[in-house]
Amino acid sequence: MKILIVDDELLARRLVREFLSRHTDVQIIGECENGLEAVDFILDKTPDLVFLDIQMPKLSGLEVLEVTGRKSGVIFTTAFDEYALRAFDLHAVDYLLKPFSQARFDDALTRAKQSAGQVSTNLSTLISQAQLERIVVRDRGMTHFIPVNTVDFIEAQDDYIMIHSLGKAVLKTQTLSEIETQLNPTQFIRIHRSYLLNIASLNRIERLNKDSLNAVLKNGVQLPISRKGYERIRPFLQD
């Protein structure tokens, strides 16, 4: 089993390496000290198992998984308190709460070996339900960060989305329905089957005819509003 250790703390990486030294059927193929390094390594080397810190500089552990599309072979290592870990318990995703013992580590590793290669729908759900503060896009070997509050609207394009922010448009491999679950529902409103609108970017709504409405954004862009979309956005409109 090929293993990658990802943690921004050197002592934490050394501890995982020490605990792994008692297992002769594993091979440590690398260490990374931040999320960006981890993305490149995972995409290039495809380790069987990743010990992944959740809170890291540049990219969090969950963002690493989202960008790489990894849905199996992960054990989170974290200093989160017990209350914050309820989401991980709820989704039956394995984690090691720092400081952890050799016995607890061995239990997690045993479970990982038993489930090697199996796609975890629980892990996928956890990633998709993590509310975003920024959108991470991997494009041509580069990682881009788009703060959610700078996004004007998001447009569906088959299995992709086009994110419109600060006058630029960036394509991401994700569906509109998936990213909708990750965004604050009081900030981003589904005004049409193809559009999610940041309510802060709305200037006004125009009626084109009896059955047709448009959202006019502060930057002048106009987006169609469906009947259901109007029902969703109406509670957020000022009288």
Give the CA radius of gyration of the chain.
21
Write down the mean pLDDT value for the chain: 91
Q: How far is CA 205 from CA 16, 177, 213, in A?
A: 56, 24, 7
The arithmetic mean of pLDDT across residues 118-140, rounded, is 83
Q: Looking at residue 131, what is its pLDDT? A: 77
What is the model's pLDDT at position 239?
56
pLDDT, position 139: 82
Domain range 134-236, CATH class: mainly beta
Average pLDDT over residues 184-188: 94
Q: What is the model's pLDDT at position 58?
A: 86
Task: Please list the residues that pair with 205 across neighbouring strands.
Answer: 215
CA distances from 182 to 82, 129, 210 (A): 23, 5, 34
Span 117-138, average pLDDT: 83
With bands split at pLDDT 50, 70 and 90, how would you rate the model's confidence at 126?
confident
DSSP state of 219: T
Question: According to DSSP H, which parts of 91-234 are helical?
Answer: 102-114, 121-129, 176-180, 227-233
Segment 151-163, tens digit of pLDDT: 999 999 988 999 9
Return the pLDDT at 71: 86
Q: What would the 3-class secondary structure string for 42-54 be?
A: HHHHCCCEEEEEC
Same fold, 2-129 and 134-236: no
CATH number for the domain whose boundaries are 2-129: 3.40.50.2300
Asked if the model's pLDDT at residue 83 lies above 70, the reply is no
What residues pair up with 75 in beta bridges, in sequence order? Answer: 51
State pLDDT tens for residues 9-50.
999 999 999 999 999 999 999 999 999 999 999 999 999 999
Domain boundaries, the chain: 2-129, 134-236
Q: Quick one: pLDDT at residue 14?
A: 97
Q: How confident is the model at residue 204 (pLDDT cuts 50, 70, 90)?
A: very high
Q: How far from chain centre, in Å, is Cα 97?
A: 21
Specify burial of residue 223 (Cβ count, 10 A radius: 0-12, 13-18, 19+): buried
More confident of the two residues 128 and 172 = 172
